[in-house]
Structure 1
Amino acid sequence: MTDRTLTVDAQTHPSGVTVLTVGGELDHHTAPSLTHALEDTPFARGSRTVLDLSGLLYCDSTGITVLITAYHRAQATDSRLYLAGVNQDLMRVFRIVGLDQVLSFEPTVESAIEALR
């Protein structure tokens, strides 16, 4: 049995952007951790959020649903959301399911923050 852990750390960047750093495996068992962190994230008109996924090792369909839900919440509140640091394997999966057509991706947190300016 594998150790299914997910870490989520919320920080406010000096630019005012909320950065959620996500690491580990995002699946059916761990998705509630990210869901709760996103519920605590202040999505509001004009707010800016970056999900730093550079430490994310795995993401199943439940995790993808959490990401899509975050996107819908950002859209509903007229705020902006970027995903940063997605590794090549996960990006391939995200492209296959069409997330690259919906979500905004940047290679690093800093480039995402720059894109949000």
Structure 2
Amino acid sequence: MQVSVIGDPDDTVIVSVRGDLDGGTDTVLGTTLEQVLDRPVPRVVVDVSGIGFCDSTGLRSFINGHERAVAAGGWLRLAAPGHQLRDLLRVAGLLPVLEIYPSVADALAPEPDL
């Protein structure tokens, strides 16, 4: 698995994940998320379009990251999940909990004012 981090001019961080996310690789993502979430009001987009396989231990990294971001007044968004990951999120009941976007650009777009 490969994880890369890109800073955005508005202080949003994009974390790109490529490969399989499972019990053997989830610590790489978990450690990366801990680092990028260690800031005031963290805003993180995780590009999951390159994940070929994810299991429940991989989901734990997303849940932990989401909870930590929200506790700090920020957010963590998942962008471009493939069919396997989207199905796993649905079966695990996480679609209403985690913010899912069709693309990184959509995840970075400002929320409309209501």
Q: TM-score, normalised by structure 2?
A: 0.90
Percent of matched pairs sharing the same residue: 32
What is the distance in 2 between the residues matched to 1:37 and 1:47?
13
Deviation at 1:90, TM superposition (A): 1.3
What is the distance in 2 between the residues matched to 1:56 and 1:26?
7
Say if 1:52 and 1:84, in contact at 8 Å, map to a contact too: yes
Instruction: Tell me what 2:50 maps to.
Output: 55
> Alignment length, in residue pairs?
112
Unaligned runs of 5+ in 1: 1-5
RMSD: 1.5
What is the distance in 2 between the residues matched to 1:116 and 1:37?
26
What is the distance in 2 between the residues matched to 1:11 and 1:40?
13
What is the distance in 2 between the residues matched to 1:30 and 1:116?
32
* 1:49 maps to amino acid: V
Deviations 1:93-117 (A, max 9, x none): 1111111010000010010000458
Deviations 1:73-95 (A, max 9, x none): 11211111110010122101111
Moved >4 Å (runs of 4+): none
Deviation at 1:13, TM superposition (A): 1.8
Say if 2:77 and 2:101, in contact at 8 Å, map to a contact too: yes
What is the distance in 2 between the residues matched to 1:115 and 1:106?
13
Q: TM-score, normalised by structure 1?
A: 0.88
Residues 46 and 61 of structure 1: is their aligned pair in 2 closer, same or farther, counting only changes over 3 Å?
Answer: same
Deviation at 1:18, TM superposition (A): 0.2
SS at match of 2:6: strand
Instruction: Tell me what 1:81 maps to.
Output: 76
